[in-house]
Amino acid sequence: MTDFSDWIRVEIKRRGWSQATLAERAGFSRSSVTAVLTTGRRKPGMKFFFGIATAFEMPLADVVVIWEKAGQRESGEAGE
């Protein structure tokens, strides 16, 4: 897994979902999910994190930590 989008793709596949299923469970349009996961046109914010946490039935804090760690890997920063 190289970034946050990859983590989401892995989770979608692990659950046997499509991007449309994730979008429905997260309360987003499919185009919103695609914009974050595929095109990179949209940087996810707290609303997106909350939707992902809801869809994956996990704590919001865990999703934010995964995002932060992915950002550190992408920018080459060391983790604490």
Instruction: Output the tens digit of pLDDT for each of the chain's 80 residues.
Output: 458 889 999 999 999 999 999 999 999 999 988 888 886 666 788 999 999 999 999 999 999 999 999 875 555 444 43
* Residue 80 included in any domain: no
Q: What is the domain range of residue 47?
A: 4-75
* Residue 23 included in any domain: yes
* Residue 18 included in any domain: yes
Element (H, E) at 4: helix 4-15
The CATH number of the domain holding residue 15 is 1.10.260.40
Q: What is the pLDDT of residue 35?
A: 85
User: Count of domains in the chain?
Assistant: 1
* Residue 41 included in any domain: yes
Q: What is the DSSP string of 16-73?
A: T--HHHHHHHHT--HHHHHIIIII--S---HHHHHHHHHHHT--HHHHHHHHHHHHHH
CA distance linking residue 62 with residue 30, whole number of Å: 23
With CA atoms as reference, report the closest residue to 22 among 45, 1, 5, 39.
5
pTM for the whole structure: 0.80
* Residue 36 included in any domain: yes
